């Protein structure tokens, strides 16, 4: 399966995917990595792994639509079957959503539908939640609002702050990320308006890491 990965920062999830590819735990071709930030560390990771990279600095565009159109052209060049947002800190609009309808997924650090947007760790702590986690969902026009495909849950521990919580979630997020993309290589995963279909059947609830399906 050909995939294109969009990043803005560290790219630790991208690294997990590269490692899984190199160790042949997953059968994917990462055709390109695109960053909207020139200083994204993930670009170095991709270069080191021999993956073509592009930088599309959003600051060079007059408006969001123009940026989206240019982004769609870059993505199309690799002809990917799946577009993966891994720490890509831009909201994308119709210029990208339309040509890749139902083929864009995003990793978000919360148990969606809770805590769309930013600062999810602190918001979970402030609410006194006993669990936090990460979700992978199809991208729609609504911020962090598309159908949820998979999740990982971790307990919030006494004394946790947003840094300890984020540090504990990160390795689980990496596992969820790789397992879910692997699931895409093995099944036909499709997006409905608000639901996910796997091999033609509606998913009753998000796939959970550690369930048999994702392991």
Which residue in 17, 75, 82, 86 binds ligand GRF (CB under 6 A)? 86
Closest CB to ligand GRF: residue number:
87
Q: Which is nearer to ligand GRF, 87 or 146 (CB)?
A: 87
Secondary structure (3-state) at 180: helix
Q: At its nearest, how many Å lie between ligand GRF and the CB of residue 9?
A: 4
DSSP output for 15-78: HHHHHHHHTTSS--EEEEEEES-TT-HHHHHHHHTT--EEE--GGGSSSHHHHHHHHHHHHHHT
Q: Which stretch binds ligand GRF (CB under 6 A): 7-15, 43-51, 185-193, 194-202?
A: 7-15
Is 146 one of the binding residues for ligand GRF (CB under 6 A)? no
Q: At its nearest, how many Å lie between ligand GRF and the CB of residue 119?
A: 12
CA distance 64 to 165: 33
C-alpha neighbours within 13 Å on the C-beta side of residue 121: 13
Residue 61: both structure tokens together: 């565009």
Q: Are 83 and 2 in contact (CB under 8 A)?
A: no
Catalytic annotation present for 132: no
Which residue in 33, 134, 148, 181 binds ligand GRF (CB under 6 A)? 134
- Compute how many residues bind ligand GRF; rule: CB under 6 A: 15
**Window 153-182: residues binding ligand GRF (CB under 6 A):** 173
Is 133 one of the binding residues for ligand GRF (CB under 6 A)? no
**CA-based R_g, the chain, Å:** 17
Between helices 41-48 and 12-22, what is the axis angle to 10°?
10
Is 114 one of the binding residues for ligand GRF (CB under 6 A)? no
Please list the active-site residues. Answer: 108
Binding site for ligand GRF (CB under 6 A): 7, 9-14, 42, 86-87, 107-109, 134, 173
């Amino acid at each position: 399966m050909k995939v294109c990965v969009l990043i803005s920062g560290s790219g630790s999830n991208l690294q997990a995917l590269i490692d899984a590819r190199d160790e042949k735990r997953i059968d994917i071709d990462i055709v390109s990595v695109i960053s909207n930030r020139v200083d994204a560390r993930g670009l170095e990771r991709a270069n080191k792994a021999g993956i073509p990279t592009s930088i599309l600095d959003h600051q060079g565009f007059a408006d969001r639509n123009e940026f989206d159109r240019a982004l769609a052209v870059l993505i199309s060049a690799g002809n990917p079957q799946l577009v993966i947002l891994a720490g890509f800190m831009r909201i994308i609009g119709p210029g990208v959503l339309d040509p890749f309808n139902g083929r864009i997924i995003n990793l978000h650090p919360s148990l969606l539908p809770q805590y769309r947007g930013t600062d999810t760790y602190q918001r979970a702590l402030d609410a006194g939640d006993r669990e936090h986690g990460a979700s992978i969902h199809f991208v729609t026009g609504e911020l962090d609002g598309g159908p949820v495909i998979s999740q990982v849950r971790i307990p919030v521990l006494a004394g946790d702050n947003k840094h300890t919580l984020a540090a504990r979630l990160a390795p689980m997020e990496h596992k969820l990320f790789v397992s879910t993309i692997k699931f895409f290589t093995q099944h036909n995963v499709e997006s409905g308006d608000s639901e996910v279909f796997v091999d033609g059947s509606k998913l009753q609830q998000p796939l959970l890491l550690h369930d048999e399906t994702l392991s």
